[in-house]
A and B are shown apart, each in its own frame.
Chain A
Amino acid sequence: MDKLIDDELLVAQFKSGSQKAFDDLMKRYEQKIFGYLLRSVRNYEDAEELTLEVFFKAYRALNKWEPKAKFSTWLYTIASNLAIDYHRSKSRQPIYMYEDEEVIETRLVANDISSNPEKNIEDKERGHLIRKAVDELSSKQKAVFMLSRYEGLQIKEVAETLGMAEGTVKIHLHRAIKKLQTLLRPLWENNEI
């Protein structure tokens, strides 16, 4: 609740001409929005570009924005719309940025001194397969799943963010989880994961 008030206060300060208020809002949400977009598009550069676009749009529209919902919900709405547009514009499957993942993997391995290289490769492969299954979800299913699972939004907030009824959000969520189970079952049954 405090955070909601804080956001609203910062928005009010921005409306009265304070640039610093927007900087504070951006610092507060840049990691979350970037993380959400990175999971959605699986490409570091595109996620960075989309995050910039989210804050660019927010900056331009903030003077007209009225706090009917949380500020964060509004930001996620902009981000979700951009992610959906991104997937629409890309007719091809999402391309994995192996370089990015390698950087992350290397960091993980470096942190773990007692790591087993073979196990790391297996884990890496398994991670790719699971994330590929997540990317098989439709853009709306994925948005619902990501927002509710990794951004900590409740079903009601997801509904507000995506402009859907709560029932529709639940349907998308059920379908997403069932689809994931169907896609991952063969690997599980073959003991590959």
Chain B
Amino acid sequence: MPKCYRSEAHVIDYVYGELDPNMLPDFENHLTTCNQCTRKVFAYKHVLNLVDEAEEEFIPQPIAPYDLETKLYKRLAEVPPEKSSFYTQLLNNFDKVLLVFKEQKIASICTFAFAVIAIAFFVGNPFRPTPTYDVTPNTAADERIEQYRQQGIQRSLEDILRNKHLRYSDGWDTVSQLNRVKDQAKGTDWANVANKQLKRVQQTSDL
């Protein structure tokens, strides 16, 4: 006997009454010639009949639970109603607000305009614009660096003179330190100061 390649799903659909009505005449025609499908149809119908009988035997007639109504209201009285969460409330109220906006367009436009002005007034401060500065950040930084450099030179000179006075440093040491500072301070007024101090040291120590 040649094997039938009809889908088993078609057989089940046919038995279950779910086969596409367009396919039904063709399938019923097929059943008149195909023993395999006919046997399958018979087998599935038999299985379903058996299950139907067993289920009918289990619940022979419709039954309802005893006194469901009383039990339900008793339970509803025992359990407090669910409180909706903060977010749910927020969402519900938001929906209501949106509904008002949809229904009353002029009111919504006015409210929106008022909200924009209020935000601009309190947050943006449009009537007092922030002042702009002419000094570019790069120039200010360079000036600050030069200032720090000159302060450094000043501190070095002061240290040299303090050491000379307090520790009675020898002439060689002080001269070499002053020469180093003089090189650092080239191009500034501190170079003249360093030079003057250098000459004074050289005179006093006869170097």
Contacts and interface: CB of A to CB of B under 8 A. Distances in A.
Contact of B57 (A60, A104, A134, A148): A104
B18 A155 contact: yes
Nearest to B84: A64
Contacts of A130: 50-51, 53-54
Contacts of A38: 58-59, 63
B52 A149 contact: yes
A75 to B, nearest CB: 13
Interface string B29-68: 0000000000000011011101111110111101111101
Interface stretch (A2-10, A84-92, A173-181): A173-181
B114 interface: no
Contact of A181 (B18, B43, B52, B54): B43
A55 B68 contact: yes
Contacts of B82: 60
A122 interface: no
Nearest to A53: B75
Contacts, number: 105
Given A56-B72, A173-B12, A178-B8, A134 B51 contact: yes
Nearest to A187: B50
Interface residues of B, number: 36
B9 A174 contact: yes
B155 interface: no
B16 interface: yes
Interface in A3-53: 23, 26, 30-32, 34-35, 38-39, 47-48, 51-52
Contact of B44 (A32, A34, A181): A181
A26 B44 contact: no
Contact of A26 (B46, B68, B81): B68
Given A127-B57, A178-B8, A173 B16 contact: yes
A65 interface: no
Contact of B55 (A26, A34, A131): A131
Contacts of A104: 57-60
B110 interface: no
Interface of A: 23, 26, 30-32, 34-35, 38-39, 47-48, 51-52, 55-56, 59-60, 101, 104-105, 107-108, 123, 126-127, 130-131, 133-134, 148-150, 155, 170, 173-174, 177-178, 180-181, 184, 188, 193
26 contacts: A26-B68, A26-B72, A31-B64, A32-B62, A34-B63, A34-B65, A35-B62, A39-B58, A39-B59, A48-B66, A101-B58, A104-B57, A130-B53, A130-B54, A131-B54, A131-B55, A131-B58, A149-B55, A150-B55, A174-B12, A177-B12, A177-B44, A178-B12, A180-B51, A181-B44, A193-B50
9 interchain residue pairs of minimum CB distance: A130-B54, A48-B65, A31-B62, A127-B54, A30-B64, A31-B64, A127-B57, A181-B47, A174-B12
Given A47-B65, A48-B66, A177-B47, 14 more contacts: A38-B63, A52-B71, A60-B82, A104-B57, A104-B60, A108-B60, A127-B54, A127-B58, A134-B51, A149-B52, A174-B8, A178-B8, A180-B48, A181-B47
